[in-house]
Amino acid sequence: MTAHNNPATILAQLQKIVGEHGILTDQDASVHYQDRRGRYSGQALAVVFPTTTQQVAQVVSLCVAQGIAIIPQGGNTGMCGGSVPLAASDQMGEQIVLNLSRMNRVCNIDEINYTMTVEAGCTLQQAKLAAEQVNRYFPLGLSAIAAECEIGGNLSTNAGGVNVLRYGMMRDLVLGLEVVLPDGRIWNGLRSLRKDNTGYDLKHLFIGAEGTLGIITTAVLKLFPRLQAQTTAIVAVRDATTAVNLLAHLRATCGDRLSAFEIISRSCLNLVLRHIPDTHEPFTTKYEWQVLIDLADVLPIPLEQSLRDALNTFGDGVLEFFIAPDTHQAAAWWKLRKHISEAQKIEGISIKHDVSVPISRVAEFISLANAALMQQYPDVRIVIFGHIGDGNIHYNPSLPDATKNNVFIAQSAQVNQLIYDIVHSLGGSISAEHGLGQLKRNEIRHYKSALEIELMNNIKQMLDPNNLMNPKKVL
């Protein structure tokens, strides 16, 4: 692909659309060209910051006319390299980064309909606060990153987080979308209806599409009643089997009040305690597995006793537990969970896996994957944590010795295949919540049927025949 006009002319045309403050080309642009993990980077003609949907549409039309690829970008916190330009070796010709961060208005909140309409560049935190101000709740639970990631990015990755077991993923939290299509037309699907069976539900095409089918500019999000009671427990469990059995028990005894159920292995705790200031071992004994549990209710009622009773009636496998006496203690335990990703990054590179299997098969996955890895790499250290309440495990092996770890990382493809083959054999997914981006676009071909890949390619071809909308991502 080659741009028809010379770069200076194109930059002038872009500047005419978004204004001189709406475009970055110098050193300041470089932060937008590299992903947060430092794994993917490329160069682009410019980073463009539109402030309206009309401007987005004009930028897209210009790019289509000039054969320029568009990389949609929100907070650039994604884990799979979807939000940054392709490297020169991918030979894609000219690209621009289209960053939505300046489109950050909360347009409307309908307290009776329990909905809010927000622009794509609103941070998740901004959206959550706006809901709180009218005594409502927006439940997407990515607290480690909420101040940076944006609603457009959350939608485009179909983000998950810690409250999925109660409220669902981002896909479940949306009623309507406005999207600029790859040909520059604006699709206004900003409906705020809970019931609408009038044909294909097009919004779902764009959710989780990682910017490959169009640019989400505005969304109607579902709101929920604000929570007024919350209690947190940290529970030491014998093993992952106990954890999933406990989850089933809590669902039966606590119902929809169960809002988070996260697992933390010993290796995670060691990393957090080593690298994150002001963190503390939760028990006197150093247990191998701990589970962090939240119950919450919209009524201002005490929940501690219900949780205590549920934990006491569970039976064998719960080794010890504490219920937080106050929100300060609850926050201290959640700090251990929230900072695992950061602590592991500080420690060094690992081979990250974000996988899911049916909840009933999580323990089987962990034991099969551990055995297979240990057989080949006896001193492997495996950091296991995540959303066990959704069957979604973050499974990140590395070797403690730096030199050996470099060799291990160089074998990522073989390690991935070993893990993903096990996941696949258990009916699981190789990307539960982070998407495919550049990271898994090749691997997914081994795990989805040829028919599914064909249908995905057909949809892409129909909406984006010039392959200019985030090319070489996902597909």
| Interaction site with ligand FAD (CB under 6 A) | 36, 71-79, 82-83, 100, 120, 142, 144-145, 149-150, 152-154, 156-157, 159-161, 210-211, 215-216, 341, 433-434, 437, 470, 473
Whole-angstrom Cα distance, residue 202 to residue 134? 30
| CB 58 to ligand MLT: min, Å | 35
Smaller CB separation from ligand MLT, 56 or 79: 79
Going by their DSSP bridges, the two strands 95-99 and 136-137 should be labelled as unpaired
Place of tokens 């910051």: 49
Which of ligand MLT, ligand FAD, none is residue 210 near (CB under 5 to 8 Å by kind)? ligand FAD
Residue type, 142: L
Which of ligand FAD, ligand MLT, none is residue 211 near (CB under 5 to 8 Å by kind)? ligand FAD
Residues 6+ apart with CB under 8 A from 35: 41, 76, 78, 81, 83, 84
- The site that binds ligand MLT (CB under 6 A) totals a number of residues, namely 6
Place of tokens 């002001």: 278
Which of ligand MLT, ligand FAD, none is residue 394 near (CB under 5 to 8 Å by kind)? ligand MLT
| CB 153 to ligand FAD: min, Å | 2
Smaller CB separation from ligand MLT, 103 or 240: 240
Rg (alpha carbons) of the chain, rounded to whole number: 23
**Which of 354, 357, 362, 469 is in the footprint of ligand MLT by CB under 6 A?**
354
Whole-angstrom Cα distance, residue 231 to residue 223? 21
**Which of 85, 176, 282, 386 is in the footprint of ligand MLT by CB under 6 A?**
386
| CB 437 to ligand FAD: min, Å | 6
Whole-angstrom Cα distance, residue 420 to residue 412? 12
**Which of 126, 341, 350, 416 is in the footprint of ligand MLT by CB under 6 A?**
341
Smaller CB separation from ligand MLT, 79 or 180: 79
Which of ligand FAD, ligand MLT, none is residue 78 near (CB under 5 to 8 Å by kind)? ligand FAD
φ, ψ dihedrals at 468, nearest 5°? -105, -10
> 252, 324 in Cβ contact below 8 A?
no
Smaller CB separation from ligand MLT, 384 or 444: 384
Return the closest-CA partner of residue 282 out of 292, 267, 296.
292
Give the other-Cβ count within 10 Å of 250's Cβ.
24
| CB 175 to ligand FAD: min, Å | 17
Which of ligand FAD, ligand MLT, none is residue 470 near (CB under 5 to 8 Å by kind)? ligand FAD
Residues 6+ apart with CB under 8 A from 318: 235, 236, 237, 238, 242, 246, 311
Q: Which two tokens stand for residue 399?
A: 């070797």
φ, ψ dihedrals at 129, nearest 5°? -65, -40
Return the closest-CA partner of residue 209 out of 75, 30, 78, 58.
78
Which of ligand FAD, ligand MLT, none is residue 75 near (CB under 5 to 8 Å by kind)? ligand FAD
**Which of 222, 394, 441, 460 is in the footprint of ligand MLT by CB under 6 A?**
394
Instruction: Name the site residues for ligand MLT (rule: CB under 6 A).
Output: 144, 340-341, 354, 386, 394
